[in-house]
Amino acid sequence: MSNKPFSALFSADSPSLPLQNVFYLFGGMVLLCIALALLTNHIYFLTMPFGVLFVAWLIRDFRAVYFALLFFLPLSIEHSFGEFLATDLPTEPLMIILMCVAIGTYLAKPPPHIKNILFHPIMVLLLLHLVWIAISVVYSQNFWVSVKYFSAKIWYVSVFVGMSLLLLRSVKDYKTAFWCIYIPLTFVVIQTLVRHYYADFDFVRANVVMLPFFRNHVNYAMMLAIFYPFLWSARHWYPVGSFKRYCIGFGIVLYMVAMFYSYTRAAYVSILILPIVYGILHYRFTSYIVTLTAVVLMVAGVYYGTDNRYMELAPNFERTIYHENLGDHLSATFAGTDVSFMERVYRWVAAVNMSQEHPIVGFGPANFYNFYRYYTITSFKTYVSDNPEKSGVHNYFLMTLVEQGLVGLIILLVLCAVFFLQGEQIYQRQKSQADKSLVMCVLLSQFIIVVNMTISDLIEVDKIGSLFFINFALLINLDLAARSILPTTTEQTPAWYD
C-alpha cells in the first residue's frame, strides 16, 4: 500500500499530465457533455464537468471541503424526494463524500498517533457504541429502516470525529472552524429576528420565522445554546479593541436576545445552569454528580415502576393544551398542563412498555415510530398524540433503550459519563489558560446537548449531531496534545489574554 496520504496522490509534487493536455481533455469532456445533453434532452449531462472539478478539488484539498461543510451546517435545508427519502442539502451529500475521503485517508496513511486515538477511552466507547448499533440492526424488526439509520451514523462519525481528528489540531484550525459556523449562523439569527420583528415577536409565529434553515424554534434555540460557550472562548483569541473581538462580543449579545425570543424553555435553562456546571467541572465534583444522577434515576425508576405509580403522571386531557403566550406557556410547565411536555410523557410510557418486548437488542434503530402506538396508554393521550410529523420518543436515552436494547443504553450512558469524567481530568491537565478555556467550552457545549437528550432527539439533526461528534474529536485531540502525543494545539498565550 502507498505510504502517501490520499490527497498527496494528486499533489503538485506528483507526476501529472502537462497543463495543456489537461485543458484539452477537460474541454473535450465539456463538449461531449453538451452534445449528450442536446441529443438526449437531459440537462443533467451539463453538470458532469462541475462534478469532475469538484472531485478534483476534493482529492487535492479535502480540508477546504470539510470547512465548507461546517459553513453550510447552519444553512442546510431539509428536502424530501418522496415518502421514503429525505435529506439535508447540501450537508448530507457532502458528508457522504467526505466519509469516503476520510476512510481513504486513514487507510492510505494512518496518522502516527493512530493507536493513541483508537485506544483513547472515549474513542473505545464510541466505537463500541457503533458496533452495538450494527448488532441491533441485524436483529431489527424493520431491517432496511435500521440499515439506513446506521449508514447515516457511519458518515456522521467518519466525518465529524474521524475528519475532525485530522483537521482540528491547532488554534488556527479552531479559529477557521469557529468562523465557518459563526458567520452563517449569525446570518440566520439576524434574518430570523428581522422576520420575527415584523411578526411583532408573536409567540405562535416563533415556530416558523426560522424556516427553512431550522425545522422549529427548539432546534434553532438549542443550536444557539450549544454554540454559545464557544463564543466566550473565542473572544479571548483576539486582543481587546480588535474588530474580530467586537464581532464575537456582538454575537454574545445577539444570541442571547435570539434565544429569549425563541421562547424555548430548554434553551433558557441550559444557559442559566452553565455557571453551575462550570463550577462542578472546575472544582472536580463531576464524579459526585455522575454518581448522584445515577442514584436518583434508579430510585425514580424503582418508585414509578412499582405498583403502577407511573399512572400518577397521567395528565388531565381537557386541561393539557397548547398555550399561545410565553407566560401561560411557562406556568403550564410548572403546573404539568403543557401539552408538549405531557405528550413526551405519553411517548415515554410507550417506550418503557416497548423495552420489555425486546430488552436486549431492541426493536432496531429508527423503529420507535413504526411500533410505538401498540404500546401507548390512553390515559396519557393528549391533543397532539396523532403525531402527523412522525417524531420520535423525545428522549434519546429511552429511544436507545427501545431501539438498541438495555446493552445499547448502558454503552451510551457510560460514554456520556466517561466524556465528562475524562474531560474534567483533561481540563486540569492543560498547561495554558487558552487550552483550559477551550476544553471547558467543549464540556459545557456537550453538557447542553446531553441534558437536552433527556427531552429530545436532537443529535439526529445534522446541525446539532455534528457538534455532538465534533466535541468528541476536540476533547481527544486536546488530551493528546496535553500529553505531548500531538504538537501543541494552541499558540503561546498572548499577553492580552484574559
Query: How confident is the prediction along the chain (498 residues), in pLDDT tens digits per residue?
Result: 444 444 444 444 444 556 666 677 777 888 888 888 888 877 777 777 777 777 776 667 788 889 999 999 999 998 776 666 678 888 998 899 899 889 888 888 888 889 999 999 999 999 999 999 999 999 999 999 999 999 999 999 999 999 999 999 988 999 999 999 999 999 999 999 999 999 999 888 888 999 999 989 999 999 999 999 999 999 989 999 999 999 999 999 999 999 999 999 899 999 999 999 999 999 999 999 999 988 998 888 788 777 677 776 666 554 554 555 555 555 555 445 567 778 888 899 999 999 999 999 999 999 999 999 999 888 777 767 788 778 889 999 999 999 999 999 999 999 999 999 999 999 999 988 888 999 999 999 999 999 999 988 888 888 999 999 999 999 999 999 988 877 654 444 333 333
- Per DSSP, 247 falls in state H
**Residue 89, in any domain of the structure:** no
**Residue 27, in any domain of the structure:** yes
Phi/psi of residue 224, each to 5°? -65, -45
Q: Which of 369, 393, 408, 397 is nearest to 137 (CA)?
A: 408
> Which domain range does residue 56 map to?
1-60
Which segments of 371-466 are extended strands (E)? Answer: none
**Residue 48, in any domain of the structure:** yes
Rounded to whole angstroms, the Cα distance separating 70 from 67 reads 5
Rounded to whole angstroms, the Cα distance separating 348 from 57 reads 47
Provide the whole-model pTM.
0.86
Longest pairwise C-alpha distance within the chain:
81
How does DSSP assign 189-203, residue by residue?
HHHHHHHHHHTTT-T
Number of independent structural domains in the chain: 1
**Residue 212, in any domain of the structure:** no
**Residue 7, in any domain of the structure:** yes
**Residue 116, in any domain of the structure:** no
How does DSSP assign 20-79, residue by residue?
HHHHHHHHHHHHHHHHHHHHHT-GGGGGHHHHHHHHHHHHH-HHHHHHHHHHHGGG-EEE
**Residue 29, in any domain of the structure:** yes
- Determine contact, residues 69/61, Cβ cutoff 8 Å: no
Which residue matches cell numbers 466519509?
99
**Residue 422, in any domain of the structure:** no
Close Cβ partners of 37 (under 8 Å, ≥ 6 residues apart): 43, 44, 45, 46
